[in-house]
Amino acid sequence: MSADTPGVAPGIRKMIYTASKIMQPALLEICALLLSVACLSAAAAEAPPAYRTIQPLLAERCGGCHKPGEIGPMPLTSYAEVRPWAKAIKEAVLMHTMPPWFADQKVSERFRNDRSLSPEEIHKIVAWVDAGAPAGELVSATPLPVSNDAPEPSRKPDLVIKVPRMHVPASGTVEYTFLVTNLHFGEDKWIQEAEWRIDHREVVHHMNAYVRPPGSSYVATAPYDVPYVASKSERTARRADESENDRRELLIGYEPGYRPEPWGKDRAKLIHKGSDMVFEMHYTANGKEVVDSSELWLYFADRPPKERVLSLQPSDRDLAIPPGDPNYHSFTAARFTSPVTLISVQPHMHLRGKAYQMEAVYPDGRRELLIRVPRYDFRWQTTYFLSSPLQLPKGTVIECSAWYDNSPNNPNNPDPEKTIHWGDQSWDEMNVGFIEVAFDASNPAEVAVLSSNSLPAVVPPHP
């Protein structure tokens, strides 16, 4: 293919030219029909998209990870950075491997942090690469701002919690590390916004900030204020009578590509007086030794909000995946005992995770698919924020179905010979359907009953 006529082989170009010169109009029409497929791209060929229309697209959808200091292996924010990668970019967008986004858009809800490209955008990028990735007239020779550049804070945070300097070696495994710190809140506090300020994004696989109310059993044996690797039994210990909310609540998670997502107007999360913060930090070595000094910024609400935001995690702790099973199904659910508004969802499994689906079942029996992830990828923990939060009446159930491949055909499977149970390590498994909901702040926190293992009447087909 020649560089100046993308999508049309030179031979065909010549044919179109010759045909228009010698053929009768009727014949020409037939020719046009016959060549319509080629002509579609020929139309694009007449005006290859200019880089000035590509640059903002790449900045918006790719730059969040492909910028210096981020997790992407190369920056893609300026022409000089993009040009050598043009072919690889074309391949990645055609194969839908980039940008990483796993919800099936055709059936899932709309998500406001959706970074996937539309077919038109893919077509545009491909046409530009096929045209030889010309620079044309540059919008800006310097990188454009990208979607997850830390926004200028509108005001100063009320509390900055510094994660102690974490040493991340150039290679090898960094143990999943905990840090427990006492917040010293003498009264209950409403948190209007929480925001991660990550120092070395290129080495952070994920971070979670959990709130541990007084008396909780959660990693209760960990010392305060020193990075700590908790054992499996320390991490799973819980009192029989303890509800998940009494044990811990996720305040905010960080994952690659993260950008702050507000919970909404007049909404806040509640931290009870005397609570601790438990940071869970998963670092991955990235070829260069670094010391990470990340921070969590908290903004307090100056008065109690109208709605409280709560993070719930229905989990199937009884899963037992037989050795070699290529399609094990696990189920967990949350039933709401008060009306709530659904803000976000996040499917969570480990290395054997294959597919995931969350569905709302309304009290009248109507079902609504919230999210379907047909090809789950453990490397990408993604929180999906609904573009229009959903009102769920009292009695609605959210069903979370997970499928696992414990066969040798799963290239990520560390050991197909074992029965796999619940556990924190990536070679154990989990089925957690993280859900964030908002509800009348004067309600008690017990707005949902989480079922751990009751199977649905009908097992849904694998998506």
CA dihedral 420, 422, 427, 433 (to 10 degrees): 120
Q: Under a CB-based contact definition with an 8 Å cutoff, are residues 112 and 101 in contact?
A: no
| Residue 111 DSSP class | B
**Minimal CA–CA distance to 251: which of 373, 174, 177, 161?**
161
92 binds ligand HEC (CB under 6 A): yes
Write the CB contacts of 109 (distance below 8 Å, at least 6 apart in sequence).
369, 370, 371, 384, 386, 387, 390
- Binding region for ligand HEC (CB under 6 A) out of 46-54, 95-103, 319-327, 398-406: 95-103
For the window 51-80, what string marks contact with ligand HEC as x by the rule CB under 6 A? Answer: -------x--xx-xxx----xxx-------
Closest approach of Cβ 97 to ligand HEC, in Å? 7
- Whole-angstrom Cα distance, residue 259 to residue 63? 12
Which residue from 79, 85, 190, 384 is in contact with ligand HEC, where contact means CB under 6 A? 85
Closest approach of Cβ 83 to ligand HEC, in Å? 13
| 19/86 with CB nearer ligand HEC | 86
The residue type found at 57 is L
| 64/305 with CB nearer ligand HEC | 64
By CB under 6 A, the count of residues binding ligand HEC is: 21
Closest approach of Cβ 92 to ligand HEC, in Å? 4
- Whole-angstrom Cα distance, residue 256 to residue 95? 20
| 109/114 with CB nearer ligand HEC | 114
Closest approach of Cβ 375 to ligand HEC, in Å? 13
What strands lie across the sheet with 177-182, from one edge to the other? 177-182, 276-283, 204-212, 249-254
- 10 Å CB burial of residue 424 (0-12, 13-18, 19+) is middle
- Whole-angstrom Cα distance, residue 252 to residue 412? 28
| 256/389 with CB nearer ligand HEC | 256
Tokens 């809140």, residue? 185
Closest approach of Cβ 202 to ligand HEC, in Å? 9
- Whole-angstrom Cα distance, residue 102 to residue 371? 10
Closest approach of Cβ 193 to ligand HEC, in Å? 22
Helical segments of 23-76, H only? 25-34, 36-46, 51-61
| Residue 173 DSSP class | B
**Minimal CA–CA distance to 377: which of 407, 345, 333, 347?**
347
- Binding region for ligand HEC (CB under 6 A) out of 91-99, 296-304, 336-344, 362-370: 91-99
143 binds ligand HEC (CB under 6 A): no
| 285/441 with CB nearer ligand HEC | 285
Reading the block at residue 222, the tokens are 């960990």
Footprint of ligand HEC on 313-332 (CB under 6 A)? none
Closest approach of Cβ 36 to ligand HEC, in Å? 29
The angle subtended at Cα 116 by Cα 114 and Cα 122, nearest 5°, is 150
149 binds ligand HEC (CB under 6 A): no
| 71/397 with CB nearer ligand HEC | 71
Q: How many residues are recorded in the chain?
A: 463
For the window 223-262, what string marks contact with ligand HEC as x by the rule CB under 6 A? Answer: ---------------------------------xx-----
Which residue from 6, 48, 99, 433 is in contact with ligand HEC, where contact means CB under 6 A? 99
Residues that bind ligand HEC (CB under 6 A): 58, 61-62, 64-66, 71-73, 85, 88-89, 92-93, 98-100, 115, 117, 256-257
